[in-house]
Amino acid sequence: MPELNSTLLLEVALDLANSITNEDRFDRLLSSIRKAINCEAVVLLVNRGEQLTPLATQGLAPDTLGRRFKLSDHPRLALICAATQPVRFPSDSPLADPYDGLLLAKDGDLPVHSCMGLPLYSDNKLIGVVTLDSLRPNAFNDISDRTLQLISALSAATLKTAIQLKALEQRAQQAQDLLQELTHEALTRDGGELIGNSPSMQALKSEIQLVASSDYTVLVLGETGVGKELVARTLHRCSERSNHPLIHLNCASIPETLAESELFGHAKGAFSGAEKERPGKFQLADGGTIFLDEVGELPLSVQGKLLRVLQSGEIQPVGKDQVSMVNVRVIAATNRDLAEEVKVGRFRADLYHRLSVYPVRIPSLKERNNDILLLAGYFLEVTARKLGVRQLKIRPDVENALLEYTWPGNVRELEHVISRASLKATRHAQQQDIISISLADLDFETGLAQPPQLKPKEALVTHLKEQIPLKSLTEDFQRQYISDALVVHDGNWTNAAKQLGMDRANLARLAKRLGVSLEKHIKQQTRFL
């Protein structure tokens, strides 16, 4: 095993100097470490307080980068973080290895092997960790202290440089502080972190950093399930309003008769049932941010009053003569084409232009295919904690299936697929520490998948040959269309009825006649990117 001599050090320095991105810089660092120390796996992790986040790996499954290792769940990592010197674990250490089942060179639980961790310090502060694993017992026993010191110093310097470059790119210390606050909050709650290294996600994060520090009204656009609420939360937490309220209002969930009251409040006795004065969402959000989800569902009668708030900051509660002023930043979201809604007269043109001062589009999951395994790794780690199992992993054929699927339900669908598959896998696990998800455990939301389409002429000939009555074809279409609308809206009949342009009660009666199930699906609240 070669020592980290001056020649190798010069080679490493040149590699790092020629690196353009942090990803490239980290990869070259790990390659250099493996030149000096023969091992099957090496990982660079950054310290996020109560957990470690992988920045680069070699020798481990690709979904490792999407995982977040809570120190309370991983005693080996906790010991490394608590140390000031390199930590060598005995080959027969009883402590669970965080990478069990993830090593590319070994399927299943790690046998007796060598494991070592290097804490990385800068200005007497722990900024990260480097871990090394070898399948050979006692592989790290003969490595000199000098070599380990040089590797630790080199790794710490590389990580520190990356952190400083990131801070410089943000151009302001205040923005950096806000980003650190965002990161801390995001990583302390499930579903709060923007995960993804694809070009489209990097572009989205840049857009968020750019517009967050302004007071511009932002219109978040994207398909169902991409994580519009998460982007809104991120914008708020990165803004100067982060210490003030973030109020969320789903415009599709409120009846038209109560929309004005929900937004602007009402006086006692303003209408039947108004037994006391009640502040509206804009009053609650004063000084902070209001997130108007599904803003395209707002009735025209309320759109004019919302425009008034955007123009002047004035609100007038229902049943009151006097107006009051609020200072609120508006973030709106929709999966509708508002420009088209304006053309057909369902949305005010002046309101549309006020809302779309700065549009931010969230890419669909099929546009960020490289992020699928990272997100899968994140959901696997979260699900493992919820189910009380030590490790969940996916097999290579499952990885391929996830990558080949079209994901019409986007990130939310991926989360649900991983959750269902994990639960099914535990059913057959029989108290195993490492549970592998197989193809048989996967259950895609096929109701959202696009069926094969016949050309119009081919479809017509097929139907005529089969002598299918027009009424049956019409009912089949209605049945499928209603079912698809319910799937898209997670079983919410009110929202499905609005999309279909009909009353909820009429939709329920029609669905019952057609044999569509009235069972309401339970919508999961956590959302991810």
> Residues 252-295: pLDDT tens digits?
888 888 888 888 888 877 776 767 778 888 888 888 899 999 99
Residue partners of 197: CB distance under 8 A and separation at least 6: 23, 65, 370, 371, 374
Closest C-alpha to 507, from 490, 493, 521: 493
Paired strand residues for 45: 54, 129
Q: Is residue 383 part of a domain?
A: yes
Residues 118 and 257 in one domain: no
CATH for 301: 3.40.50.300
Q: Is residue 26 part of a domain?
A: yes
Domain boundary among 402, 417, 448: 448
Residues 106 and 203 in one domain: no
Residues 205 and 306 in one domain: yes
- The answer to whether residues 494 and 520 touch, using CB atoms and an 8 Å cutoff, is no
Q: Is residue 523 part of a domain?
A: no
Q: Is residue 289 part of a domain?
A: yes
Res 186: pLDDT: 31
Residues 298 and 429 in one domain: no
Residues 17 and 162 in one domain: yes
Task: Fill in the amino acid letter for 278.
Answer: R
Domain that includes residue 132, residue range: 6-169
Domain boundary among 361, 395, 412: 361
Residues 387 and 406 in one domain: yes
Res 486: pLDDT: 80
Q: Is residue 348 part of a domain?
A: yes
Residues 444 and 464 in one domain: no
How many domains in the chain? 4
Give the Cα-Cα-Cα angle 380, 382, 383 (nearest 5 degrees). Answer: 65
CATH for 430: 1.10.8.60
Domain boundary among 319, 341, 361: 361
Q: Is residue 187 part of a domain?
A: no
Residues 206 and 355 in one domain: yes
CATH for 506: 1.10.10
* DSSP E strands, 61-156: 69-70, 87-89, 114-122, 125-134
Q: Is residue 525 part of a domain?
A: no
CA distances from 206 to 47, 69, 209, 230, 494 (A): 23, 26, 5, 15, 36
CATH for 23: 3.30.450.40
Task: Fill in the amino acid letter for 424.
Answer: K
Residues 461 and 435 in one domain: no
Q: What are phi and psi of 305, to 5 degrees?
A: -70, -35
Q: What is the mean pLDDT of each run of 10 residues along the chain (529 residues)?
A: 51 57 83 87 92 93 93 94 92 89 79 88 92 89 85 85 67 42 39 82 93 94 90 90 86 84 81 75 88 91 90 86 88 91 92 94 92 93 88 92 91 92 82 83 62 42 55 74 76 79 78 68 39
Q: Cα(334)–Cα(157) distance, rounded to whole angstroms?
A: 44
DSSP string computed for 295-354: GGGS-HHHHHHHHHHHHH-EE--BT-SS-EE---EEEEEESS-HHHHHHTTSS-HHHHHH
Res 189: pLDDT: 44
Residues 211 and 71 in one domain: no
257: left (phi over 0), alpha (psi -120 to 50) or beta: alpha
Residues 204 and 319 in one domain: yes
Residues 259 and 331 in one domain: yes
Q: Is residue 357 part of a domain?
A: yes
- Helix ranges, 37-120 (H): 75-82
Res 255: pLDDT: 84
Res 171: pLDDT: 46
